[in-house]
Structure formats: structure tokens, C-alpha cells
Structure 1
């Protein structure tokens, strides 16, 4: 069974969505729903912290790309934080990394 939890932390200037678990075809709707809810709640500057992501398939990559487009279309910004390992490699190899602001520093995202 695919498990993905999303923890939301609201700061004064941005909202951090911390992903924990697997982002794939089954769980990507959870990310999409969370992004939509944040935007509907007036939050425009989002950080998706992927430090605890244990798996991400092509459906997960597409979900992240859709999230970036959705946030940009709403006039906001989306940053990926703590991108490393296989996710960084896949984003770099596919060219998808160019679609995001990416923090690879390995530091916890802060609001």
C-alpha cells in the first residue's frame, strides 16, 4: 500500500508542505489536493520539503510539475527543499529541475 503523509506548517511568508513516504500514481492526488487547499486558503508561497520522501515515480514527478504550474498560475511560488539522492538525479537527467526553485542544501525548510 502506498503511504504519503503531508504535514503543513504555515509561516508568516510561506507555507511548508513536508512530504513523508511515497509519491506515486496512487498518492499524488494527496499532494494535488493539499496544494489546491493551500492556494484556496490564500497561501501563495509554498515550499515542498522532500527530505523524507522514500520513493517518487514518474507520476510523482508529474504531480510536482503540475503543482508548480498551478502555483505559478495563481501568482505564487513553489520551491522544492532538501532535494537530493535519486530524486535530484531524476530531476536533473530529465530536465525537470529547470521547472523548480530547488534548495539542495539539506537544511530543514523553515517558514
Structure 2
């Protein structure tokens, strides 16, 4: 597992964990995903892409906020991973984060799951 964090006295701490699995990976961001923190998530996703780790599950249970920068990063990753033959699944979104995806219509382009376990089960089922 890889773990990377950032933060300062003026910004809440943001962290990303990557759990490599036999098939694919689970990326777990925690904190507020915005233009200040999105590079940590990009690095985690890029690492999985360069290793060919598909599918990727983004476990959103620890996200309290996601702005348009975070949303665009996830959309760009989805396109890149789907072009390579993989999928990006989103799991366990808090209502405030889920609302951003609903308002923009992004919820229609990602497989969305209520829990991480449901996402992993869906992936194992094929």
C-alpha cells in the first residue's frame, strides 16, 4: 500500500492511499479534493495506469468535498483507462460529493456503488 499526504496550517490534510490488488487497485482519497490537492490523486491514478492496474476503484468514503478540478481529474482518468480497456468504479460517496456528480451528469458515465464491497463484488463478477 502506498500512502501520500499533504496539508498545512491553513489547509486541511488530504491523503491518498493505493491498495494494489491481484487484479486492479483501490485508490482511497481522504479529505477535500480540490485544485490544491488534486495532484496527489493524479499521481496515484497515473501510477496505476503506468502499471496497467485495471479496473480501478476510487473509494470515496473519506472524501468530504470534490470541486470541478477533482471531477475533471476523475473524468480524464476514466477516459484514459477506458481507452486502455479498463474501467473506473466509484464507491461510497458522501451525499455532498455525490451531488456534484449528479448535477454535472458524471454519475451516468461511472459505475457507481454504495459501498467499496459492492464495487469489488461487481468487479469480481465481471
Structure 1 length-normalised TM: 0.87
> Which structure 2 residue ranges, 5 or more long, are not aligned?
1-10, 122-126
Q: 1:70 aligns with which of 63, 80, 98?
A: 80
> Which residue in the other structure is 1:54 paired with?
64
Q: Relative CO higher for 1 or 2, CA cutoff 8 Å, sep ≥ 6?
A: 1
- CA contact 1:25–1:59 (8 Å) conserved in 2: yes
Partner Cα distance (2:87, 2:116) in 1: 20
**Aligned to 2:23, what secondary structure does the other structure show?**
coil
Summarize deviations over 1:7-55 as a string: whole Å, max 9, x none: 1112222200011111101111211121111111121210000000121
> Which structure 1 residue ranges, 5 or more long, are not aligned?
none
> Which residue in the other structure is 1:86 paired with?
96
Partner Cα distance (1:63, 1:10) in 2: 20
Question: RMSD over aligned Cα, in angstroms?
Answer: 2.0
> Which residue in the other structure is 2:107 paired with?
97
Aligned positions, number: 111
Give the 4+ runs in structure 1 shifted more than 3 A: 105-111
Structure 2 length-normalised TM: 0.78
> Which residue in the other structure is 1:42 paired with?
52
